[in-house]
Amino acid sequence: MGYKTEYYFECHVTINPVYRNRLDYFKEICKKYNFRVAELLMKKRSEDTPILSQYDSFCTGRSINYMELFDNMVDLITELKQNNFKVLRYKIENTLLDSRQNDFHELL
């Protein structure tokens, strides 16, 4: 039950960067709530360098049902915080167009 969308809602949860065993644990927790951990780190500022920079780790979940995604997000964030992950941000977006599902404008 809840709001549904034609394509999908997408949720991003951003945390302080994690590596090695903590990254594996982050992936394990995310999997329980149908989230996938990104295999990249985001460079946040143009002045950041590879040696000293502000990177984040993040994960993404999708669903056509808003409440299902919202509930999974809340449960994920709760468990991450209980396990001393520093959650920095969360957001849910509604996808209005995705050429992977329908190249409606035939641009690709």
Domain boundaries of the chain, sorted by first residue: 1-18+26-47+67-97
* CA–CA separation, 55 and 31 (whole Å): 22
> Using the 8-state DSSP alphabet, how is residue 32 labeled?
H
For residue range 54-74, what is the model confidence (pLDDT) as tens digits?
567 899 999 999 999 999 999
Is the pLDDT at 89 greater than 50, yes or no?
Answer: yes
Enter the pTM of the model: 0.83
